[in-house]
Structure 1
Amino acid sequence: MQTQSSEQLEAVFLFDGDHITREMLYSEFEAILDGFIPVPDYAGRLAKAVYVRINSRLCITAAVFFVLEFDAKGMIDRRWNVPLQQLAEAASRGPDLGAGTIRLACFSQCPIEWQRKNLWDPQMQPGCNSFVLMRKAVKGNRLGLIFKTAAADKAAAVEAEQRAQEQRREQKIQEKIQQKLHQQYSKELRDRLAHVIKEQRLRIATLENQQKLKIQGIQQEHQKRLHSYQQELLEVQKNRQELDERNRSLKEDLDVQLQKLDGVREYFSHKLKAAQMDENSQIQAMQENFALELEARLKTVSAELQEKLDMREVELFYRHEQEKNLRDEIAHLRRENQALLNNGSDQLLARLARAGINFVAFHPGAGNIAIPLDDMSRYLDNPQAYVAAKCGVTETLYAAWLAHYQTPRCTGVDHRGQSCNKPLARVATPSEFHEGEHDRCDQHQVLPHQLVAERR
């Protein structure tokens, strides 16, 4: 393809892992977007791609790292809509790929915030650097780019003008050579320093995102393990309650048996008193038989109950030991999780804060919130409570407003038990939201305005 030397060409590179698998002109990429050309190699997959601009010296001047989603037939999803050219025009400065610093748009450096989810960060590790791969691909010119020169008369005029300028420069070069050399070296030094700073900032942003993903994975794993141990602890507590109930039942049975024994004792006492009128020897025998029988029955019942109580005490002992071990392990996991957070993210956050980098988070109702380093732990523990405090409302009210803001419909229930779900006007800020009023239609508002204000 031929073009004027003053213009730039647009191309798209498709990546598979750490390699460029396909190169195409932007016109060919538009044909794929329009559904004329499928890409079977990426059917049903997500693909990483880069939109680049190339000048006449086969150097990259702009790059946008974006993500494509293909369906089962190898066609790009119809809902895909990323303004690549607009992102390239509004992008910030990136590394130098031969024609000065390029315009770079990626996940960590996105000029349009709501397009960040459609971008990805380039690999910058030695051996798999995305910029090096793209520069080699452009220099290889497998796309067949050909730049033609301007017309002959224009070239002659330019050449004559250049000769005249060279003559004028030769007259002044001796007296200005020192000044020009100083300015040139100073400019090169500043440009190189700015380029190094920009590249290091991009590398820091990339490492920060990777560190956040790693910390999130560790936190999720610890949460799962903590949840499983909590479930086991609940089962142990439930078993302990069952054992307590069984012990209580056994004690009640023992009391009943003792009451029966008291009744038997009274019965034999009355019988002995009646027999004393007849014969003293018979009374003596009956007393001895009664004492022996009572002692035997007491020993039998006591032995059975004591055996059951011993078994329950052993079971309770093992249950207590298991519960204690689980509690110790949960405390150990919490300390380990806190140590990971203190030794991992806080040190990196402190270094970033000393470097002058601020942390900003977007939340509905509060917009972009700058989070100081001292508040980072409190924000990570409960982001919703932190945002609610920033908005000047309680966490409960902020949660109710957020549900209304996301789905502005009536939450009232009619006499049949069905939700009203009538569309309502969205309240833009949490401080102006009245629960029970703004989240319900006129028919289902059950509290007056004054009572709602008092509840807040």
Structure 2
Amino acid sequence: MAARNSKELFEAIIFFGNKVVAKEMRYSEFEAVLDGVVGITELANREIYAAYVKITPSLKVHSLVTFQIEFNERGFADEDWNIPLRHLAENAGPGPDLGAGPIRLACRSQCSVSWYQRELWEPNQRDIDHFCLLQEAVTRNKLGLITDDELNTIPILSAPTPAPAQLNEPEIEVPLMCDPVDTSDWQSSQQLTAQSGSEKLRAQAGEFQAKVDLLIQRQKQTIQAMEEKYRVEIEQVKRAMRNEAQSYRHHGQDLEQQANHNKVLLEKMQARNTRLERDLIQAQEQAESHKDQFNSLKEEHLELLHNQRVADDDKTRLSIELKERLTLQALEMEEQNDELAKYRRANSALTDQIEGYQRQVVVHSDSTSSELAELRALIDQKQAEASDLKARWVSQSVDYERLSKQYDQASHALAESTQSLKSLTSASFKTQELRKTLEFQAQDLEQRLGESQRENEQLKRDRIEAEDNAVANVEVYEKMEKLELVFVAYHPGAGHISLPARQLEDYLDKPLSFAAQKCSVTLEHYKSWLVHYDGSECEQCGVPVKRIDTPSDYQIGVNNRCTKHRLDSGNVTQFRRSS
């Protein structure tokens, strides 16, 4: 570090070891370490407590920023490390007095930028006095900083007044006699020697001054070139960092929108999955109930078929028996009719014969009494036979009527059995139709069950994909957190809220909770104030009321109501005091 103006400050980096100062370097050297130009082999594979120090020309600590930095196995600094040390030092709070008044201190407990707190560390004054070690290291001045005393002791290169030169006086033989000596030659030679020495010293001083001026000019040019080079590189790095931060900010916004979209889709898919699971359970229950109904109807159908077959067999057998009986009765009736016809013919023949005998009796009234008695006996016999035939005819008529009734009853029973057979056949057809309907319903339920299972599998795949997206979002959040990106959200009453990347996911889930926490009120209180802020009117009658712009000054039941419907806070306070 070259010499600077007394009003300027020196920048240095000090690394702490175990109760000692491990290493010191200038800030320009530390920037080369951060750029990956050089490494620090003695700090390889270590996470070091370090301090950024601004030092006055009088070797006093002006500003201090304590930070942590990690080095890899080759001694190079972490590429993701990026802490604005100068900004933190300029905006640091007050610290202890190290000899030149209170210093500016930025540490973990006192940091102007909250999201850098975890990258800082807290200096100790009890076990290891880091401030004392720091002040001792600055006082030792191993870095070779040019102090005010050294600036005052640097001679000004001008035409100096030459000191009287010590001339090699020639050996003069001093005479031992007291003769007078002529000293004019010696004085003139001494003057010439002094004059030539003075001119020689002036020439050497001018040459030395020219060399010093040339060296200073070259150093200034070198310093200006290096400052210009580093300024350009720093501007390029800052521009690249700004572009990268802008790209990450846009990427973060895209990820936020995608996260919101994925969240909405996930909620929809979860609701749809819940609905489909509920429909699936209902469909399974319906399928089970339809299956039970199908089994019961199938059993009833089989039982009806069995009963129908048994009834058909019984009725067929009964019908056959009735037909056989009717056939036999018909044959018997035909035989009886034939016999009755024979009896009628015989009766008519006997009647004709009796009438003929009566006519013969009338004609042959003069015949003998013996023949008349025989004829009367024959007539009585024939009349008895006719009475017997008549009685048999009456009995046959009764049997015929009885058989006719039985035939009618059998015909009626046969018709009823035929009708029941038809009804059973119709019931069988209906049972078959119901069976087919149940089969169709079962197939439909199986198809719906398959579709529900496929939709459930699709939802599971979507859920897995959403979880993968959530994992990817978490990785992106971690990357943004490493880059120290900060998002800003605006809420009424709370203003602008700065959100580190690690809080972005929680903010997206509950944004109003963050706003309520920022306003130091509860979530319900903040929601009630939002309603009042959007429309300042009485919640009872709709009359406009005065709007309260600060959530902490808002009172529920007082500021959101008119004077007519407002709760009397004084009475409430008085009641609380009295109770």
TM band (smaller chain):
0.3 to 0.5
Which TM-score applies when normalising by structure 2? 0.35
Which has a greater percent of helix?
A: 2
TM-score, structure 1 length as denominator? 0.43
